Amino acid sequence: MRYITTRGGQSGTGAEAIVQGLGCDGGLFVPESFPPVSLNELADMAKEPYEARAVRILKRFLTDFSEQQIAGMAEVAYARFDEHGVAPLKKLAGGVNVLELYHGPTLAFKDVALTLLPHLLTSSAKVSGETRNVLILVATSGDTGKAALSGFQDVPGTHCAVFYPQGGVSEAQRLQMVTQRGDNTHVIAVKGNFDDAQTGVKRIFSDPQAAAAFSEKGFALSSANSINWGRLAPQIVYYFSAYCDMLAAGDAAPGDAINICVPTGNFGNILAAYYAMRMGLPVGKLVCASNSNNVLTDFIRTGVYDARREFHLTTSPSMDILISSNLERMLFELSGRDAAAVRGWMADLKEKGRYEIGGGAKAALSELMYGAWAAEEDCAAEIARTWNEEKYLIDPHTAVAMKALRDYRAETGDNRPCVVASTASPFKFGRAVSAALGLPTDADDFALCARLSDMTGWAVPRAIAELPGLPVRHKATCAPEDMLSALMKEIG
């Protein structure tokens, strides 16, 4: 399988795409084609464990590696998930199937890709002849940072540096990052929001002087953000896996279309669902759920992407994003893989903060997707409703998706079974969840989690329970314009 970029300026192998992260032309790597998976194969996969399903999907994309290599990497990565497994499906009333993606070491769906990425990246570096150490740069809205730090901790030949928006993440998310162990991990708080951090990281990547300076220190830069193909490929797997679980449970017959609803920020997770669809997964509609940073909802409804709007800090911080990087890959497909059109839209976004798609691309988007968003009170109401009606606790990101699905069903009457991506453990957001349930919030986040545990009978995950006792190891802060110098200081 070869890879090309969305801006038409580069092609390469999967290993090259993974090591490099971003294309030389500023575009994102996409596979040259979408390898099909037949309904017969889906029926076979329904009898297999998650790791085997992963190998079937990943081997089609990662042709630089043998099937045994991929199986070995998947086995090690997914052994880090808890006893529930990598992506269990929880059936609620009304054909709502919650895909619990948060049973990994850092309690968010990012773990599904970021437990695997260090293996993919170090193997890819070998295959593509890279001899320098790899310095992974990450801008995080809360969950990617910890998942990347945890994945890369003490992996030989790598360093991992994370930038997060100061004050823009939950207390548990912050503590998870600043207590990170490992001699090769670096965490810096940026005095700005996520978009500032992401823009700063992109600036470092596109700065030839920075590249030369790091190279002199023996480092090649790479990214663990969801623009990296090595992040996206593993996410395609769990949509297939969800469908297989529905087949196995008799909740779908081979070929029955399902809907998929995804709480969306940088557009990586929902893009993976779209890629699964392109490979043959029977999908009716993709429901794109946003919080009050609802730039994507407007885009899907109007064809106008306008990032010039007020930025809201919400209780679903991992979706507090106004510039969704992975949307560029979607635009590439919507335009019939027209790199010139993509370059034009991205130039407009950079210069004017907005762009507009028209004609075929706009029609293709509204055929494929439905956009909806949840205000803070809708999100809280959804957490309360799901607990009261189903005795099932969800986090605020998942609640945003549940509300979007409710809106979609009410507007269209399309009640076919839907897979809802549940992207984080409710215990990562103990304060917001407690407030939504009308419980007192006059204690620290850990006491609140203990109360939620008493109420639900669900144990507080160890990754949360241990946090108050861990020493803070990372205290650096910087202004958005000083991210490069702060990083240089960290690396030494």
Ligand X SMILES: *Cc1c(COP(=O)(O)O)cnc(C)c1O
User: Which letter does DSSP use for residue 424 in this model?
Assistant: B
Distance (Å, rounded) from C-alpha 369 to C-alpha 271? 11
Using CB under 6 A, which residues numbered 205 to 234 contact ligand X?
Answer: 226
Is 266 near ligand X (CB under 6 A)? yes
Contact call for residues 315 and 432 (beta carbons, < 8 A): yes
Using the contact rule CB under 6 A, the part of the chain among 216-224, 267-275, 357-365, 473-481 near ligand X is 267-275
- State whether residue 46 is helix, strand or coil: coil
> CB 369 → ligand X: shortest distance, Å?
13
Is 430 near ligand X (CB under 6 A)? no
Using the contact rule CB under 6 A, the part of the chain among 129-137, 155-163, 265-273, 343-351 near ligand X is 265-273
The residue among 262, 6, 287, 268 whose CA lies nearest residue 114 is 268
Using the contact rule CB under 6 A, the part of the chain among 131-139, 260-268, 333-341, 382-390 near ligand X is 260-268
> CB 485 → ligand X: shortest distance, Å?
28
User: Which letter does DSSP use for residue 251 in this model?
Assistant: S
Is 397 near ligand X (CB under 6 A)? yes
Measured in whole angstroms, the distance separating CA 282 from the mean position of its chain's CA atoms is: 22
User: In this structure, what token pair is assigned to residue 411?
Assistant: 């507007």
Distance (Å, rounded) from C-alpha 145 to C-alpha 177? 7
> CB 350 → ligand X: shortest distance, Å?
20
Among 319, 372, 399, 483, binds ligand X (CB under 6 A): 319
Smaller CB distance to ligand X: residue 46 or 464?
464
Using the contact rule CB under 6 A, the part of the chain among 30-38, 261-269, 362-370, 407-415 near ligand X is 261-269
Smaller CB distance to ligand X: residue 186 or 428?
428
Q: Which residues pair with 260 in a beta bridge?
A: 286, 419
Using the contact rule CB under 6 A, the part of the chain among 41-49, 264-272, 357-365, 451-459 near ligand X is 264-272
Is 146 near ligand X (CB under 6 A)? no
Is 267 near ligand X (CB under 6 A)? yes
CB atoms under 10 Å from CB of 485, counted, come to 11
Is 195 near ligand X (CB under 6 A)? no
Is 318 near ligand X (CB under 6 A)? yes
- x/- contact string, 341-380, with ligand X (CB under 6 A)? ----------------------------------------
Smaller CB distance to ligand X: residue 100 or 130?
100
Distance (Å, rounded) from C-alpha 474 to C-alpha 174? 10
Using the contact rule CB under 6 A, the part of the chain among 12-20, 24-32, 113-121, 263-271 near ligand X is 263-271
> CB 107 → ligand X: shortest distance, Å?
9
Distance (Å, rounded) from C-alpha 263 to C-alpha 261? 7
Residues 6+ apart with CB under 8 A from 424: 102, 107, 108, 109, 143, 318, 395, 397, 398
Q: Edge to edge, what strands does the sheet with 258-263 contain?
A: 89-91, 96-100, 418-422, 258-263, 283-290, 369-373
Smaller CB distance to ligand X: residue 115 or 264?
264
Q: Which residues pair with 37 in a beta bridge?
A: none
Number of helices (H), then strands (E), belonging to the chain: the values are 22, 16
Smaller CB distance to ligand X: residue 222 or 318?
318
Using the contact rule CB under 6 A, the part of the chain among 259-267, 354-362, 446-454, 461-469 near ligand X is 259-267
User: In this structure, what token pair is assigned to residue 67?
Assistant: 């099937």
Distance (Å, rounded) from C-alpha 19 to C-alpha 476? 27
- Residue type for 442, please? D
Is 265 near ligand X (CB under 6 A)? yes
> CB 268 → ligand X: shortest distance, Å?
3
Is 263 near ligand X (CB under 6 A)? yes
- State whether residue 14 is helix, strand or coil: helix
Distance (Å, rounded) from C-alpha 117 to C-alpha 350? 29
Smaller CB distance to ligand X: residue 114 or 486?
114
Cα dihedral 115, 117, 122, 128 in deg (nearest 10): 160
Among 12, 268, 430, 461, binds ligand X (CB under 6 A): 268
Residue numbers at the binding site for ligand X (CB under 6 A): 108, 110, 143, 226, 263-269, 318-319, 397, 423-424
